[in-house]
Every structure is written in structure tokens, then in C-alpha cells.
Structure 1
């Protein structure tokens, strides 16, 4: 099972795509989870796919079928699909990554569900070889967004 928590209105709702939910969404959509993730990322998913993922995620998270249908009808509305599509993508992505309910509940209080362990840790020291001298050199790993452009590159 996977679990993500999102606020609908002012109330937090857990979304879980459990095994019966996976089977049902694959039957209803005709696509597997990998294809559904790709369709959500590319924007080619249908409204019914988003509605079904939203509803099944709520149901797997513990909502009754009636409440899941109600919340889906309120929050998955044509013209305001961005949040619903983002929630559907999070549910599918976590199911594919194998985030279990126990792992999600083990997150530290105040951390968003699914936050990787050690995400607050400082960058690691690494030992590499300097290509120009062949001597060992030590550098710090930088986060993905902090890469410097190559020298001589124009902005």
C-alpha cells in the first residue's frame, strides 16, 4: 500500500492505493500503473482516470465509498483539475515506489509523508580523482539544483 496525505478543504485525507485499488484502476482504465503515471505526467490522462484514482485513493485510505464519491465529485471538477491530477500522480507514484503504510507512518512528526530518510542531512564528503593530475581530490556533493554552468557558458 502507498499513502499520501492531502488537505481537502481544511481536513487532511489519507490516500492509499492498495492492491484492490490497483486492480480496479487497471481494469477501469485499461492501463497499468506505469502507463497511468506517464499519462498523468504528460497531461494525456482522462478526467475519468483522475476521478477513479482520486476515489480509489480515498477509499484505500480509509474513507467510505460514499465519502470517497462525495469528495471526488467536489474536488475533481473540470476546469480545476490541477490539484486533483497532482494528488492522483502522488498516489500512483508512491504505489510504484513501494511506499508502505508503515513507512509513511514512521515519518517524523511535521515531515510530509514519504519524505526520504536523511533528507535534512548535510551533503556527503566524497573522494574523487582530479582528471588533470590523477591525484585524489575531495569535493562536496551539491544538490541537483545547484549545479554550476560550465565555464564559458552564456546565460
Structure 2
């Protein structure tokens, strides 16, 4: 599942925001906006976390909303929309590759803090001296 979500996240960098990126498996210790979105696959629920610092979300607001300074609510909305775009794209990629179909739920904003949620796999995408974390908790009951 993480490889499909990683492909969707790199597609987001290449096609939606058109920015160069690099991938690492290191989660930075910094204050981030954190959202989650559940993927329903048969009877399993997988929780996908998307986390980004204020600087990245402001860059995304500039790209998508043509606003350079956004209030906290707009930054939260931008994070949830980013989660929706990445996981929605992962669903399409999975279907195109003949994988099991899955349903996605509405993203939920969780918190602004250091990312310390339990996860099974993660990827850190570095973009313009900032980053976005995509992590997944497999078979999450909630």
C-alpha cells in the first residue's frame, strides 16, 4: 500500500505542484500540521497520515490559491485537500494496476505538533527545503 501512496505523492510533486523532490525515510522532529484519511479495503481500515510544516502549506496555498499568507484555518484546509489529492490519486493508481479496489473517507485534521503517531511505514518527501510526511498505519481499527 505504501508504494502506491508514495507513487501518488511523487505524482503530486511532479504534476500538481511541479516541484523537484527527494525521498527519505527520516521523520523530522518539528512542529507540523497533521491530518489523516482512512482507506477501507475489504474489512480492513488503513489510516494514512499526511503531515507538513507551515512553510510547505503556505507554498501550496500560493500555488493553488494564489495567496502567500494564509490563516491557520486555510492551512488546515490545504493540508486536508493535499491528503485527499494524494490518497485519491493512490486509489486511481491501484485500480490502473489491477489491485484490489478500496474506498477512501473524508480527511480529518488532527493536530499541530511533532509527528508522533504510530505507523507501520512512512516516507518523507523533501521539497524546496521543506517536507511532507506520508505515513500509513495498516489494519487500524478506528
Q: TM-score, normalised by structure 2?
A: 0.32
Q: Which has the higher strand share?
A: 2
Larger Rg: 1
Q: Which has the higher helix share?
A: 1
Q: Which has the higher contact order (CA 8 A, sep 6+)?
A: 2
Q: TM-score, normalised by structure 1?
A: 0.30
